């Protein structure tokens, strides 16, 4: 039986004998996420729980608030806390991401829960739309989409694949084509080839902002096409199968094929989320977004 029930205007908490259950219901916004994080920290630091269950019923909300929650997870886990998540009636958008960022093996949904994973949406505000502002908006959406998916994939596959792959892919898909972001050549350079090195030198030497941006995006297209070509005609493997199949191969080949697999998986998720459709929990298990359907 629960020992105590505490309600606020944002979350409610039940303290059980061996875990705290936190009900997160409503929009993913700063106030509600701050309250959630405060309750998780309180359960760990004051009551010394090593397990917290987050029950989620949310229509979604702000990307920045979701990112804050995701960034806090590492600190709790470093101190030994297990984060369990459970979808109740529905989890959409940022709420669905929150569900999937629970600890692998501890992410569940009730049988009739409806889950909606989709790509980022944003408002343009009152600023007049121009060719330049539309271009900036397009890349802002793309970078946010790929950035959140890479965080999710690092969460899912970071114990199987080298972490440097996620950093390198982030540089390629989130930084290289983004006019608001500088690039780190050391993360792009491992793609190899003299042609690449020449392109990087050309980008560095270019002083015209628009021309330099076009050079960066041309390089982005060249490298992503290269990764797609690496995947062409190959059978679909999961991360564990990929790791097994590459054992004993030269390091450079392992790196190339792992990076191509990760990029292919990234694009697959992006395309699935673009369908903007509710999915049943069983399909979310198949997609490795959750681990099981909670039957009671």
Q: Is the pLDDT of residue 193 over 80?
A: no
What are 252's two structure tokens?
């450079």
Each residue's pLDDT tens digit, 114-144: 999 988 665 444 555 565 666 666 767 778 8
Q: What are phi and psi of 22, to 5 degrees?
A: -115, 120
DSSP code of 103?
P
- Listed in sequence order, the residues at least 6 apart from 139 whose beta carbon sits closer than 8 Å to its beta carbon are 177, 178, 179, 180
At 199, is the secondary structure helix, strand, or coil?
helix
Nearest in space to 13 (alpha carbons), one of 41, 48, 54:
54
Structure tokens at 296: 């009671």
Query: What are 95's two structure tokens?
Result: 């709420």
Q: Name the average pLDDT for the chain.
A: 89
Nearest to 26 by CA among 52, 56, 64, 53: 56
Phi, psi of 201 (to 5 degrees): -65, -40
Residue 30 reports pLDDT greater than 80: yes
Structural domains of the chain sorted by starting position, each given as residue range(s) with its CATH number in brackets? 1-118+276-296 (3.90.226.10), 128-274 (no CATH)
Residues ≥6 apart with Cβ < 8 Å to 201: none
Residue 178 pLDDT greater than 90, yes or no: no
Question: How high is the pLDDT of residue 127?
Answer: 52
Q: Residue 183, CB half-sphere, CA atoms under 13 Å: how many? A: 28
Average pLDDT over residues 56-69: 94
Any idea of the CA torsion for 214, 220, 222, 227, to the nearest 10 degrees? Answer: -170
Residue carrying the six token digits 């705290």: 20
Q: Is the C-alpha dihedral spanning 280, 16, 83, 32 positive or negative?
A: positive
Whether 232 shows a pLDDT value over 80: the answer reads yes
What's the CA gap between 185 and 171, in Å, rounded?
9
Please give the structure tokens belonging to residue 169.
Answer: 């892919």
Task: Give yes or no for a contact between 187 and 167, defined as CB atoms under 8 angstroms apart.
Answer: yes
Share of the chain above pLDDT 70, in %: 90
Q: What is the pLDDT of residue 142?
A: 79
- pTM reported for the whole predicted model: 0.87
126 CB-contact burial (10 Å; exposed 0-12 / middle 13-18 / buried 19+): exposed
């Amino acid at each position: 039986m629960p020992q105590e029930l505490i309600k606020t205007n944002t979350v409610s908490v039940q303290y059980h004998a061996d875990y705290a259950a936190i009900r997160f219901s409503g929009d993913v916004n700063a106030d509600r996420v701050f309250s959630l994080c405060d309750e998780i920290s309180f359960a760990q630091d004051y009551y010394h729980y090593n397990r917290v269950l987050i029950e989620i019923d949310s229509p979604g909300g702000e990307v920045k608030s979701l990112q804050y929650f995701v960034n806090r997870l590492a600190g709790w886990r470093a101190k030994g806390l297990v984060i369990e998540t459970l979808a109740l009636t529905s989890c959409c958008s940022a709420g669905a991401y929150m569900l999937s960022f629970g600890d692998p093996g501890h992410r569940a949904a009730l049988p009739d829960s409806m889950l909606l994973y989709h790509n980022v949406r944003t408002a343009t505000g009152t600023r007049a739309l121009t060719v330049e502002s539309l271009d900036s908006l397009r890349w802002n959406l793309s970078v946010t989409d790929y950035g959140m998916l890479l965080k999710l994939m690092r969460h899912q596959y970071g114990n199987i694949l080298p972490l440097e792959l996620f950093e390198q892919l982030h540089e390629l898909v989130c930084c290289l084509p983004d006019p608001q972001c500088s690039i780190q050549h050391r993360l792009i350079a491992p793609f190899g080839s003299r042609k690449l090195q020449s392109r990087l030198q050309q980008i560095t030497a270019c002083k015209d902002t628009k021309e330099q941006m076009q050079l960066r995006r041309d390089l982005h297209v060249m490298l992503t096409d290269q990764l797609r070509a690496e995947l062409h005609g190959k059978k679909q493997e999961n991360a564990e199968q990929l790791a097994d199949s590459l054992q004993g191969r030269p390091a450079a080949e392992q790196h190339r094929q792992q990076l191509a697999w990760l990029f292919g998986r990234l694009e697959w998720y992006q395309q699935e989320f673009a369908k903007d459709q509710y999915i049943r929990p069983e399909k979310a298990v198949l997609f490795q977004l959750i681990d099981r359907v909670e039957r009671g």
